[in-house]
Homo-oligomer: A and B are copies of this chain.
Amino acid sequence: MAIKLYELAAVDDARLFSPYCWRVRLSLSHKGLPFDCEPVRFTEKDKIAFSGQKLVPVLVDGAETVSDSWAIAEYLETAYPDRPSLFGGESGLGLARFATMWADQTILPGVMRLIVLDLWHHLAPGDQAYFRETREKRFGMTLEQFGADPDDHRKRLGKSLQPFRSLLGGQDFLHGAAPGYADYAAVSGFCWAAAVSEQTIVEADDPIAAWRDRVLSRRADAVASALRYAA
């Protein structure tokens, strides 16, 4: 039985936007594991009630049900040890977790500022109300206020990415000579943006743009089925 991945979707099934779901999607491609996508909207949480919690991604692999993107990556690494490694061993796993935390706290908040209004625009009608209410409460301001002045937010994000830019002067991927989980954790913010927005996240001549393209070209199968509007 094929692996099934429950992923967050916009009103259109092909706009899969959750960066955490993207991490799993790209990891499954890395491992060469085919899977079926089950799109889930914010207001369709009943679809994943069987997992015992309320958040996507949820992965179902035969008798195994795993939620949380990091837990799923660890599960895949353990369950499929003969497939290409996502972490490259114990030290790689520890350091990939750091890179993931860094992406969570640097890339994702920066991207959110840039795409929040476009994201809202693409959600299913019921999801729009849910998203607005929960996010405005979290941000302490309206979505319109939160998304105002994108040029300033792009500049701040660009500055916060400087350590990563420096790294790319010396190697092709976060993971080293080939992409690994750390790259998927970081690129997931760009996939999220591409799914729902035409905002520029980094300029085309930024080394980070070239890295993004290198990573995604290696995972073209996972991208093709999810980003057909973003080409």
Contact = CB atoms under 8 A, between A and B. Distances in A.
What is the count of identical protomers in the complex? 2
Contacts of A180: 91
Interface string A85-101: 10111111111111101
Interface residues of A, number: 33
A154 B166 CA distance: 25
A192 to B, nearest CB: 18
A176 B106 contact: no
Interface of A: 85, 87-99, 101-102, 104-106, 162-164, 166-167, 170-171, 173-177, 180, 182
B90 A174 contact: no
A26 to B, nearest CB: 16
Contacts of A95: 91-92, 95-96, 98-99, 174-176, 182
Contacts of A91: 85, 87-89, 91-92, 95-96, 175-176, 180
Nearest to A105: B163
A174 B95 CA distance: 6
A101 B169 CA distance: 11
A215 B174 CA distance: 24
